[in-house]
Structure formats: C-alpha cells, structure tokens
Amino acid sequence: MHHLILQDKCRTIRSFAALFHIVAGLPAFKTTFAAGARCCGRSILVMYALHGLKLYFTLSFEKLNLIKPILHALQAEGYTQPTPIQEQAIPIVLKRRDLLGCAQTGTGKTAAFAIPLLQMLYKDREHEQEKEKRHRPIKALILTPTRELAIQIGESFAAYGKHTALKHLVIFGGVSQLAQTQALKSGVDILVATPGRLLDLINQRFVHLDQLKYFVLDEADRMLDMGFINDVKKVITKIPAQRQTLFFSATMPPDIAKLADAILTDPVKVEVTPVSSTAEKVKQAVYFVEKGDKRALLLHVLKDKSITSALVFTRTKHGADKVARVLTKEGIKADAIHGEKSQNARQRALNNFKDGSIRVLVATDIAARGIDVEELSHVINFELPNVPETYVHRIGRTGRAGASGVALSFVDDEEKAYLKDIHKVTAQTIPVVTDHPYLMSGSRAEMPSTPAAPAFKPMPASSEKGKQQQKKRKWEQNRGKRHQ
Ligand code: AMP
C-alpha cells in the first residue's frame, strides 16, 4: 500500500499532493502537519509528484481497452502490466493498422500480437453469419520459423484466448500431417505455422487462406538466416492482398527491410529493448578455462545447488550430445536438444526440463530459439558464440519478463575475441570468476578490459588427467587458505 506522510505547512502543496495521489490512483493517503518542515515537505512533494506521474503513465491492461474475456485470462496468467512492446503495439493493432515491430524474444512480443488479434477476431465473430460461424475459415495466420516457437505461440493463444471460444491450430513439419489435416477439416480461426509444412498443406488443398484477414510474420530475420525466406514469399502470394499485416523482426538487415516494405501498408513502427538493455538485468560472470577443462568445470559449477535449472549452450549438435552424456554419467539429470533429434524427442526433453524432471538442458542456438522456460535459473555458455547478439539472445532466456537470472560463460583462449565483441555490444565488462579449480594459468586468465584474475601456476604434470587433478588440488588448498 502506498502511504505518504507529507510534512508541509502550505495547504496548497498538500492539496496538490492529494490531487496527484488521486490521479495516480494510489490507495492510501495521509498528511500530517509539522511546523518548520516546509523545505523537506516540498522536496518530498516533487518526488511524490514524479512518482505519481510515472504510475499514471504506466498503463495497466485495463487501460488498453481490452475485452473482459481477455482481461480475465491475463489475470489468470499473472500479468499485471503490459511490457513496453505490448503497451505500444496493442493500441495500434486494435486500430487495424499495419505494424513493423523491432523486438526480440523475451520482450513479450507474442502477447503483443496475440492479444489484439484475439480481441479483433472475437469482435468480428459477433457480426458473422451462422454459416460462417460453423464453417470457421482461417482468419489469422502466424508464420514463424521454428517448431518450438510455433508451439509456444500456440500456447500463448490458448492461454490468452481461453475464454474467447476461438479455435487455433499449430502446424509444423517433421511429424505426420494426419492430426493436422483432421484438425483443419473441423475449422480453425487462427493458424500458427512454419513455412514448409504450411506450403505443403496449401498445395495439398488442406489449407485455404482466401478468407484471411490478419497475417503475422514472426522473427523475419531468423526466417532469412534459416533459408526460409523464399517459402515465406511464396506463402505471401497465397494470401489476400486486403489484410492487416504485423511484421516482427529482432534486426533489420536490408533484405528484411525490403520485404517489410513490400508487404506492409503504411505501417506504424514500434521498437523496443535495444540489445544492450536485455543484458543489464541478468547477472553475468566469465570463467577463463582451457578448452579441454570445460566439461570438468561444468561439473564443478553444477555442484552449486542454487542452479536449479540450467540451459547450457554448445556450438554444435555433436557437442550438445557429448555434454549431456557426460552430465548423465555423473548422475546429473540432463538431456540435449538439437535439429537432428526427432520432434518427439525434442518435445519430450523440453517438457522434462520445464516440469523439473531434468536439471540441465543442453542446446544449440537454433534448437533453443523460442524455448520459454519460466523460472530458468541459469544460462551457461559452454562455448561462447561469435556473434554478440546471439550471446544477448542466449542470456535473455533467463531473466524473462523482468525476472532476474544468472548467465555464466566458459571462455577459452580462442573465445576471448568474442568476449571483447560482447563487451562492446552490451557496453558492459563482465566480471571474471577466479575462484575455481580450472582457471587458465597466469596472465592468460586476464582480459585487457577486465580486472586481473589472481595468477595461478599449475605444477608440471605428465598426463592430462594428472594436470587436472593438480589444478583441482591447488585450488582446494587455496580455498582452504581463503576461508581461514
Ligand atoms: P515473448 O517475448 O513473447 O517470448 O515472451 C516472453 C515471456 O514473457 C513469456 O514467458 C511470456 O509468458 C511473458 N510475458 C509476456 N507478457 C507479459 C506480461 N505483460 N507480464 C508478465 N509476463 C509476460
């Protein structure tokens, strides 16, 4: 409960404070009078007024003119306030304008399009004829690059639309199409699809898009990266020209800007969360380590019980499998997901991770795209990506929607150059953890721009294993000294 004791002789000032209080919609207010406290009272008032104004201008979902069935669903999800992309995009979409949204996953962009789409479809349905209501032609299409994202978007429509009686369906490749075609026959209002399977089903005449009114292109830059852009263009030739289009992309390379220009009509541009600010809310640390010591370091780090769930990133599919195998062998519940695993195996691993039956999920970047695990405690970069934006995407998996998280990065000699780029893009210097048994020796455990780590000289060792044991012993001894 907001509560203020305002000390000021001046009645006008107290009245203003009360007014701000009402405007800001704060629940409790109390003024007390104290002689001689005028100056203090006025400065409190200024602060209070600013606070009140801030609250007033922070919109709640109610102020976005959303219908009750959606507001109830959002409440059940525990959403109290729209994220910046939602605050900006929802009113524009509800005004039936085209939208160009520059936002990455983790900003709440799914709800930014799903909520207004559900509302418009709900209202449209009130004016539909009985026949159309029964037949349910596809009215909204969401095109997204990966199955994981498609499933997640489907889950969002299910959650936000649970009181709307609208039907949605998610389709993607790599699985039998039978269940999908059967669901299509019974009619859906919203179709969430990956481009390949959608084209297949359009060509087989299971999908008809002639009644489409709303089209969302999600993660357009990722479509380009994954080589789907021609499929996307083909899909666009199959949908009505008269439609509302929402276009989302985290970055705007020239090809994507050109595509946006071609398919949007007089769009309103909305841009949120520059890459660097996502990184600010995640607690980050770097471990300098030899390449060959990374697995041992991971096992060491995972001894920390505060790591309740960790998403570990590797560069390759092979690497992901290997790390998951090592962890499992050491009794840590882990699994790997990557493009070569069957859809069922990936979904199973993801579900096990989400419900806590496994503690560690090892993933490659593409497989991890769109993984949305609430309360993910740690992201561990077993290998550092060479593209700084990928680092930011990875660590954004923890610290979702305002929550704080921890991201640890294992950096070997080769990866120091990547770390420098990350420092530049995020405008931060990530602190170095020196208190571990696998620290690189001497000055190699330093970055020019990071605080120097204590030098650590390993004793000569004949075998690789012997070397590791020596390092560990030395570290344990030092730890003893540190704790004395
Ligand atoms: P997205 O960027 O769409 O992948 O969403 C990121 C995460 O934020 C998801 O777990 C959503 O459930 C969550 N989220 C989206 N909007 C809100 C909100 N207004 N309040 C709290 N959480 C949200």
Ligand 1 neighbour 82 (Cβ under 6 A): yes
pLDDT score, position 440 = 87
State how far the Cα of 360 lies from the Cα of 309, in Å rounded to an integer. Answer: 6
CA of 77 to the centre of ligand 1 (A): 10
State how far the Cα of 115 lies from the Cα of 117, in Å rounded to an integer. Answer: 5
Tokens of 3: 């509560």
State how far the Cα of 299 lies from the Cα of 384, in Å rounded to an integer. Answer: 18
Which domains, from first to last, does the chain contain?
A: 2-58 (no CATH), 62-271 (3.40.50.300), 282-479 (3.40.50.300)
State how far the Cα of 482 lies from the Cα of 381, in Å rounded to an integer. Answer: 27
What's the predicted TM-score (pTM) here?
A: 0.58
Residue type, 81: Q
For 121, phi then psi, to 5°, come to -65, -40
pLDDT score, position 27 = 38
What residues contact 154, with CB distance under 8 A and at least 6 apart?
168, 169, 170, 192
CA of 108 to the centre of ligand 1 (A): 4
- How confident is the model over 54-65, as pLDDT tens digits? 444 445 888 899
404-438 core/surface letters (b: 16 or more CB in 10 A; e: else): ebbbbbbbbeebbebbebbbebbeebbebbbebbb
Ligand 1 neighbour 145 (Cβ under 6 A): no
CA of 381 to the centre of ligand 1 (A): 23
Collect the ranges in the chain with pLDDT lower than 70: 1-59, 273-280, 369-370, 372, 399-404, 442-484
CA of 74 to the centre of ligand 1 (A): 11
Q: Which of 306, 298, 354 is nearest to 326 (CA)?
A: 298
Could you identify the atom of ligand 1 that is nearest to the CA of residue 79? 20
Distance of CA 391 to the CA centre of its chain: 13
* Ligand 1 pocket mutation, candidates 83, 87, 397, criterion most atoms within 8 A of CB: 83
pLDDT score, position 469 = 56
Tokens of 85: 């992309």
3-state secondary structure the chain: CCCCEEECCCHHHHHHHHHHHHHCCCCCCEEECCCCCHHHHHHHHHHHHHHHHHHHHCCCHHHHCCCHHHHHHHHHHCCCCCCHHHHHHHHHHHCCCCEEEECCCCCCHHHHHHHHHHHHHHHHHHCCCHHHHHHCCCCEEEECCCHHHHHHHHHHHHHHCCCCCCCEEEECCCCCCHHHHHHHHCCCCEEEECHHHHHHHHHCCCCCCCCCCEEEECCHHHHHHCCCHHHHHHHHHCCCCCCEEEEEECCCCHHHHHHHHHHCCCCEEEECCCHHHHHHCEEEEEEEECHHHHHHHHHHHCCCCCCCCEEEECCCHHHHHHHHHHHHHCCCCEEEECCCCCHHHHHHHHHHHHCCCCCEEEECHHHHCCCCCCCCCEEEECCCCCCHHHHHHHHCCCCHHHCCEEEEEEECHHHHHHHHHHHHHHCCCCCECCCCCCECCHHHHCCCCCCCCCCCCCCCCCCHHHHHHHHHHHHHHHHHHHHC
- How confident is the model over 163-218, as pLDDT tens digits? 999 999 999 999 999 999 999 999 999 999 999 999 999 999 999 999 999 999 99
Ligand 1 neighbour 197 (Cβ under 6 A): no
State how far the Cα of 102 lies from the Cα of 112, in Å rounded to an integer. Answer: 12
Tokens of 227: 């080589």
State how far the Cα of 310 lies from the Cα of 376, in Å rounded to an integer. Answer: 7
State how far the Cα of 475 lies from the Cα of 454, in Å rounded to an integer. Answer: 12
* Ligand 1 pocket mutation, candidates 60, 63, 75, 79, criterion most atoms within 8 A of CB: 79
State how far the Cα of 180 lies from the Cα of 201, in Å rounded to an integer. Answer: 9
Residue where the block lists tokens 């799903």? 114
State how far the Cα of 141 lies from the Cα of 193, in Å rounded to an integer. Answer: 8
Q: Between β-strands 405-411 and 282-288, what pairing exists: parallel, antiparallel or unpaired?
A: parallel
Strand ranges of the sheet holding 190-193, from the earlier edge strand across to the other edge: 168-171, 190-193, 140-143, 214-217, 244-249, 99-102, 268-271
Ligand 1 neighbour 398 (Cβ under 6 A): no
Nearest-CA residue for ligand 1 atom 21 is: 79
State how far the Cα of 473 lies from the Cα of 434, in Å rounded to an integer. Answer: 15
Within a 10 A sphere around the Cβ of 164, how many other Cβ atoms?
18
